[in-house]
Amino acid sequence: MPADSGDNQPDMSAFWMPFTANRQFKAEPRLLSEASGMYYRTPDGDPVLDGCAGLWCVNLGHGRLEIADAIHRQLMTLDYAPNFQMGHPLVFEFAKALTKIAPPGLDRIFFTNSGSESVDTALKIAMAYHRARGEGQRVRLIGRERGYHGVGFGGLSVGGLVNNRRAFATLPAVSHLPHTWDAGKNAFSKGLPLHGADKADELERLVALHGAETIAAVIVEPVAGSTGVLPPPVGYLKRLRELCNKHGILLIFDEVITGFGRLGAPFAAQALGVVPDIMTTAKGLTNAAIPMGAVFVDRKVHDAIVQGPEATIEFFHGFTYSGHPAACAAGMACLDIYLGEGIFERVAKLAPVWEEALHSLRGKPHVTDIRNLGLMGALDLSPRDGAPGARGYELLNRCLKAGLLVRYTGDTIALSPPLIVSEDEIARIVDILGGVLDEVA
């Protein structure tokens, strides 16, 4: 969508945009200038229905006054306090409140500022845990193909998106499980696909190759998000949990996307019935109103590290803004909304409506697969000859011009609306997307 013209056109030269084809974007910008509820507005005032919760993060809708007011009050009361050898009351209150919605046992919270920081923190915690128990040789980390775990060097290394990795050095002691998607057997699955639980057994091969005594942790997204919404096969996560227990390996769930209600429960761990040892979060934690992340840690892991002489720093890690007062205030306000408005239960009731609406697009031009779980969904499109990703990019632009914001990754269109979405708005999302698919036929 063309940017505003004339004097309202910003000078775009100084901002080096992240994960963006900068020259292409600046030649034909797509700008959003306002947001409220389920909608963005362009500088020209055109409404754009948010089909992807910003970047999987605006779970409660845009412009929530409760959150903005909480941040304002906190900034005027205590704008900043260090959490190195100091503290402020709200950070302890917020951590305790989070444990009340956490999976069983994950009742120790380490605050960060993003999903990337949460992942690198979790990987460090895993290594520190084994070292504290006298198994410092456990340094190997196992990720998964097509996984996304942020852009820190730890998350980059365990991640499995090739374009994210190829330009940078990665950590040496890292292996990858195969991704779980099998389009031949699981195409157009509704909810969890039936085939592929046996892919978890690949962990046994890595144990045989490297030795269980060298492996610190396995990290996976319960639902792989950024690669295009890959729900786990029935029984896959349970099998992975069993194998990690068998070999003394910590299991980390990256719930930066799935956390805070997207699957109809506070976390995917609860929705899917498998509890990890460590869980990374961010995004929906503060509804994206202010940056923050949180790592949920099983008490046994925490207690193994936090021991020894009382005056000793147990874990040499943290950030200037860990547990920032304004972020804590935003998070507390979000928790009040999640619980007070029954958001988790609401998503569970809407999920079947979402599922049927998405799968109504089966048979549309170029659609080769549709997947869904909770309020997540994706459509795979057949690529153009010699131009992979071009069709997905065209749909992004056509949807935006039609008043719908979607995500695209290659020739996959991903959807994850704010959790306040109505049935009428679900119908509108699918109607616009279906119309655009017909246009490009």
Q: Quick one: pLDDT band at residue 7, thresholds 50, 70, 90? A: low
Query: Mean of the pLDDT values across residues 133-144?
Result: 98
In a domain, 4, yes or no: no
Distances (CA, A) of 413 to 72, 84, 159, 171: 36, 43, 20, 31
Query: Mean of the pLDDT values across residues 151-167?
Result: 95
- Listing DSSP states for 275-321 in one string gives --SEEEE-GGGTTTSS--EEEEE-HHHHHHHS-S-TTS-S-----TT
Q: For residue range 13-25, what is the model confidence (pLDDT) as tens digits?
A: 999 999 999 999 9
What pLDDT shows up at residue 284? 98
In a domain, 24, yes or no: no
- Let me know whether 295 and 427 are in one domain: no
Question: Of 313, 340, 367, which residue sits at a domain end?
Answer: 340
What pLDDT shows up at residue 440? 87
Phi, psi torsion values for 55, nearest 5 degrees? -125, 60
Greater confidence (100 vs 441) lies with 100
Distances (CA, A) of 359 to 39, 62, 378: 24, 27, 10
What the block records as the tokens of 391 is 């069709």
In a domain, 5, yes or no: no
317 pLDDT higher than 80: yes
Q: What is the domain count for the chain?
A: 2
**For residue 163, what are the contacts with CB-CB under 8 A and spacing of at least 6?**
none
- Let me know whether 268 and 140 are in one domain: yes
What the block records as the tokens of 171 is 């950590």
Greater confidence (308 vs 168) lies with 168
What pLDDT shows up at residue 8? 66
- Alpha carbon distance 57, 419 (integer Å): 10
Mean pLDDT rounded to a whole number for the chain: 96
The residue range of the domain holding 47 is: 32-51+342-439
- Phi-psi group of 105: left, alpha or beta (phi > 0 → left; psi -120 to 50 → alpha; rest → beta): left
- Let me know whether 306 and 376 are in one domain: no
- Let me know whether 146 and 211 are in one domain: yes
- Let me know whether 421 and 431 are in one domain: yes
In a domain, 134, yes or no: yes
CATH number, residue 171: 3.40.640.10
- Let me know whether 260 and 191 are in one domain: yes
Q: Quick one: pLDDT band at residue 9, thresholds 50, 70, 90? A: confident
CATH number, residue 376: 3.90.1150.10
